[in-house]
């Protein structure tokens, strides 16, 4: 059994996630059918996953993911990976030339192993290239097929922006050997992968569609590749800061005529290895997105003044003079190039500054270094000329005669005060963003501030709804709803940081409470929390809203034990989206166990009955120490059980639960929403009567 710790890819038919064993001694990656997949499609998807498992078993190479286990339930377990290049690209924007060269060389090594066996990858892109546990490259998410067979490969379920024209148009019968044909097909995709890593996602799209990127979908992209008349502008006019050696390699790979492309992956690898483009640097890892949750802070922890959030290592500041306005900050998570070009992290338009003058890097030891990039004038640190030197706090770095004072500040990145919220400390860091404890200066009170990840801005429709509904949701006031203070974005260094500020609750979540206990929670405590949240859902329902993501993590407590419902963004008269879904695209498997059958099956006309079901599932787990269904089984089995299998009576696991309360929970967990309580208020009343009922008092007959 493996516990899910992060998502790698979420698709329409399959999901790939990272998990760890119960003793946390082992991490793996898992690929399985997606939740909500129609039952009629399950056999086909499981068969496809089994094919992929058999395909991987015949390949043993350091640059190809290693399968560990195939489970008949439809789960493919393979070696640990941190995530995909696509996710790294979302975070970093684009990669430096030496890192792209390393990616290409590693991919070429894996592809050569495939092609020599008359096999092709079939869906090479940023989504299918994974980052291993040691920040190395692994080819994964295979379509995988033999090129000496007549049928075309199965189309992947994710967006494919590049695919060889000969796979789209059929073309003339090739006289190439199967291994050469395989190489030319995959090398075409690899060339465009290199272009995307160097250009960054938005700039890469504009290479094809200068007049505006078409709607998401494979059709427009594959039409472009299949049309022999479509050609890119000269790469050197687009990737202006990329060395000619890299441009020359990419041009070889992306020719639409397969006869103009190299025959073998090893040929291309040799060109890159002889080009001086490679360095010894490793790819930035993604593991820092999976940090453990710190202990919640209390209001007593609030200091009088502002503190800088300490995340990791230090932030480098270069000051020109003593005015902070002229200070440039470099977070420790990535290196930065200083130079004259527009693409440099720190651009200095000075006659004696080279196009790429120097680079600053925070090493694993936590020390900052500066390296010369073959500039016309070397840099100096405290008056000593050098090509590589450390940057101690308080030193003076001279670049072309310009003196910069070095200042090292605790924190991987300085988060600015957002809209008058002073940062106090980091409470949680995960894929959905960062949660901070802050002080709201305007009201002299603590507040919880959620800062969303960079990819939040990529969902334009989600952003529209987010901005439209903040004023309306902010007006909701109820003793059992977490108060929404404000939300929006701040702009810094031409980048927008999106945030949401809410009431801060120091009592932790329901999940915090029942995971700390080695036994079920006290019945009275659970019952009072259930009454509080049912009252909150009643207020939500009265305003014609639906939460749709009630789970133990979003049931929060005040210092006096009052339960409040949070982690939602309310929408009316359209498909409901919660904040969780806007930022993460789909619920993790561990949260699916709390969702009603109609939610998992994709029913569009949801009612508050789904929220009643989810609340009952939370109460069930708090009272029995286990959710209604086991979340650690395969997704296919979990989906089937939620849809078809009756829930075990809670008193089977805990005889201390009163009959009336147990019956109320079972009533709310009915498969058919029409057989559940007619409203959250009806469920609240039943819970309230369960609180005052004696153990021998007969239960109210359940409506049919």
To the nearest whole percent, how much of the chain has pLDDT over 90? 26
Q: Which residue has the higher pLDDT, 92 or 290?
A: 92
Percentage of the chain lying above the pLDDT 70 cut: 77
Summarised one tens digit per residue, pLDDT across range 369-428 is 888 887 888 899 999 988 888 898 889 999 988 888 888 865 434 355 566 777 777 676
Report pLDDT digits (tens) over 239-283. 877 888 899 999 999 998 888 899 989 999 988 888 778 877 888
Kindly report, residue by residue over 593-616, the tens digit of the pLDDT: 898 998 888 776 789 999 999 999
Question: 346-347 and 336-339 as β-strands: parallel, antiparallel, unpaired?
Answer: parallel
Average pLDDT, the chain: 78
Split at pLDDT 50, 70, 90, the class of 456 is: low
User: Which class does domain 510-692 fall in?
Assistant: mainly alpha
Confidence of residue 44 (pLDDT cuts 50, 70, 90): confident
Residue with the two structure tokens 């594959």? 222
Is there a contact between 391 and 274 (Cβ–Cβ < 8 Å)? Answer: no
The average pLDDT across 353-364 equals 83
- Is the model more confident about 634 or about 183? 183
First to last CA, the chain: 39
pLDDT given at position 290: 41
Residue 396, SS3 per DSSP:
strand
Q: What is the pLDDT of residue 587?
A: 44
Q: Which of 287, 608, 265, 291 is nearest to 427 (CA)?
A: 291
In this prediction, residue 109 carries a pLDDT of: 94
User: Three-state SS for 186?
Assistant: helix
Task: Report, as an integer, the average pLDDT of 297-304.
Answer: 34
d(CA 445, CA 162) in angstroms, rounded, equals: 52
Question: Residue 202: its pLDDT value, please?
Answer: 74
421-503 CATH choice from 3.30.830.10, 3.40.50.720, 3.40.50.1460, 3.30.200.20: 3.30.200.20
What does the pLDDT look like over 61-106, one tens digit per residue? 999 999 999 988 889 999 999 989 988 988 888 898 889 999 999 9
Q: How many CA atoms lie within 13 A of 582 on its CB side?
A: 29
pLDDT at 220 over 90: no
DSSP 506: T
How many helices (H) and strands (E) are present in the chain, helices listed first? 20, 28
For residues 423 and 11, give the distance between their C-alpha atoms in angstroms, rounded to a whole number.
36
The pLDDT of residue 497 is: 77
The pLDDT, as a whole number, for residue 411 is: 46
The Cα–Cα gap between 283 and 315 comes to: 20
**Under 8 Å between Cβ of 106 and 140:** no
pLDDT at position 676: 96
CB-CB contact of 125 with 142 (8 Å): no
Rounded to whole angstroms, how far apart are CA atoms 90 and 202? 10
Q: How far apart are CA 225 and CA 666, in angstroms?
A: 55
CA–CA gap between residue 406 and residue 622 (Å, rounded) = 52
What is the distance of C-alpha 18 from the center of its chain? 11
Please say whether the beta carbons of 354 and 376 come within 8 A.
yes
Given pLDDT bands bounded at 50, 70 and 90, which one contains residue 655? very high
Distances (CA, A) of 670 to 548, 610, 618, 629: 17, 10, 14, 14
State pLDDT tens for residues 545-593.
888 889 998 899 999 999 999 875 433 333 333 333 323 333 444 467 8
Q: What pLDDT digit, counting tens, does each position of 467-496 carry?
A: 666 666 667 789 999 988 887 777 765 667
State the DSSP string of 430-467.
ETTEEEEEEEETTTTEEEEEEE--GGGGG-HHHHHHHH
- pTM (global) more than 0.75: no
- pLDDT confidence tier of residue 236, bands split at 50, 70 and 90: confident
Provide the token pair at 409. Answer: 């500040």
User: Is the pLDDT reported for residue 108 higher than 90?
Assistant: yes
State mean pLDDT over 359-365: 75
644 C-beta neighbours (distance < 10 Å), count: 10
Kindly list the domain boundaries of the chain, sorted by start residue.
83-273, 310-410, 421-503, 510-692
CATH assignment, 83-273: 1.10.510.10
DSSP for 121-168 reads -S--STTTEEEETTS-EEE-S---EETTSSSPPPPPSS------HHHH
What's the mean pLDDT in 332-342? 77
Output phi, psi for 201, to 5 deg: -60, -50
Do 510-692 and 310-410 fall under one CATH topology?
no
**pLDDT class of 638 with cuts at 50, 70, 90:** confident
The total of other beta-carbon atoms located within 10 Å of residue 436's CB is 26
- With b for 16 or more beta-carbon neighbours within 10 A and e for fewer, the 465-490 pattern comes to bbeebbeebeebebebbbbbbbbebe
pLDDT tens digits for range 162-196: 888 887 655 445 677 877 888 888 999 999 999 99
Pick the CATH number of 310-410 from 3.30.1330.20, 2.60.200.20, 3.40.309.10, 3.20.20.70: 2.60.200.20
């Amino acid at each position: 059994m493996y516990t899910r710790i992060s998502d790698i890819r979420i698709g329409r038919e399959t999901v790939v996630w990272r998990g760890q064993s119960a003793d946390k001694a082992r991490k793996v990656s898992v690929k399985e059918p997606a939740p909500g997949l129609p039952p009629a499609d399950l056999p086909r998807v499981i068969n496809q996953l089994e094919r992929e498992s058999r395909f991987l078993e015949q390949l043993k190479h350091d640059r190809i993911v290693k399968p560990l286990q195939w489970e008949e339930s439809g789960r493919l377990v393979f070696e640990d990976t941190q995530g995909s290049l696509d996710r790294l690209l979302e975070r970093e924007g684009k990669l430096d030339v030496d890192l792209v060269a390393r990616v290409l060389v590693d991919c070429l090594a894996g592809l050569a192993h495939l092609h020599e066996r008359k096999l092709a990858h079939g869906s090479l892109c940023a989504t299918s290239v994974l980052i291993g546990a040691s920040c190395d490259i692994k080819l994964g998410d295979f379509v995988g097929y033999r090129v000496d067979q007549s049928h075309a490969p199965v189309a992947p379920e994710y967006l494919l922006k590049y695919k060889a024209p000969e796979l789209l148009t059929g073309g003339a019968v090739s006289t190439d050997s199967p291994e050469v044909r395989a190489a030319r097909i995959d090398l075409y995709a690899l060339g465009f992968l290199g272009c995307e890593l160097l250009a960054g996602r938005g700039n890469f799209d504009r290479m094809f569609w200068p007049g505006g990127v078409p709607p998401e979908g494979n059709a427009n992209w594959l039409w472009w590749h299949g049309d022999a008349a479509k050609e890119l502008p000269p790469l050197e006019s687009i990737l202006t800061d990329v060395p000619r050696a890299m441009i020359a390699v990419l041009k070889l790979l992306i020719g639409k005529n397969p006869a103009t492309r190299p025959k073998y992956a090893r040929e291309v690898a040799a060109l890159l290895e002889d080009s001086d483009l490679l360095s010894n640097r490793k790819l930035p890892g993604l593991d820092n997105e999976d940090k453990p949750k710190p202990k919640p802070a209390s209001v007593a922890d609030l200091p009088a003044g502002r503190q800088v959030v300490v995340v990791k290592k230090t932030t480098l500041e270069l000051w020109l003079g003593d005015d902070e306005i002229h200070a440039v900050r470099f977070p420790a998570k990535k290196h930065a190039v200083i130079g004259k070009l527009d693409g440099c992290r720190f651009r200095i338009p000075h006659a004696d500054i080279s196009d790429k003058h120097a680079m600053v890097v925070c090493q694993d030891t936590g020390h900052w270094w500066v390296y010369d990039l073959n500039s016309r004038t070397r840099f100096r640190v405290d008056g000593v000329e050098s090509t590589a030197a450390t940057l101690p706090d308080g030193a003076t770095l001279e670049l072309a005669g310009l003196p910069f004072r070095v200042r090292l500040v605790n924190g991987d990145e300085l988060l600015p005060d957002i809209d008058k919220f002073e940062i106090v400390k980091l409470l949680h860091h995960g894929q959905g963003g960062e949660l901070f404890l802050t002080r709201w200066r305007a009201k002299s009170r603590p507040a919880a501030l959620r800062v969303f990840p960079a990819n939040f801005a990529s969902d334009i429709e989600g952003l529209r709804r987010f901005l439209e509904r903040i004023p309306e949701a902010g007006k909701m006031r109820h003793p059992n709803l977490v108060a929404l203070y404000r939300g929006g974005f701040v702009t810094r260094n031409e980048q927008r940081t999106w945030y949401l500020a809410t009431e801060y609750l120091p009592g932790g979540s329901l999940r915090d409470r029942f995971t700390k206990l080695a036994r079920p929670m006290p019945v009275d405590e659970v019952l009072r929390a259930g009454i509080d949240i049912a009252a909150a859902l009643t207020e939500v329902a009265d305003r014609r809203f639906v939460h749709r993501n009630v789970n133990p993590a979003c049931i929060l407590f005040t210092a006096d034990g009052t339960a409040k419902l949070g982690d939602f963004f309310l929408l009316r008269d359209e498909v409901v989206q919660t904040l969780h879904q806007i930022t993460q695209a789909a619920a993790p498997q561990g949260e699916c166990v709390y969702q009603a059958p109609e939610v998992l099956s994709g029913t569009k006309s949801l009612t508050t009955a789904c929220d009643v079901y989810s609340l009952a599932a939370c109460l069930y787990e708090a009272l029995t120490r286990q959710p209604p269904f086991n979340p650690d089984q395969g997704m296919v089995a979990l989906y089937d059980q939620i849809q078809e299998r009756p829930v075990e009576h809670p008193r089977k696991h805990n005889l201390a639960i009163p009959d009336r309360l147990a019956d109320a929970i079972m009533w709310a967990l009915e498969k058919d929403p029409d057989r559940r309580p007619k409203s959250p208020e009806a469920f609240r009343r039943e819970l309230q009567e369960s609180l005052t009922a004696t153990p021998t008092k007969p239960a109210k007959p359940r409506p049919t």
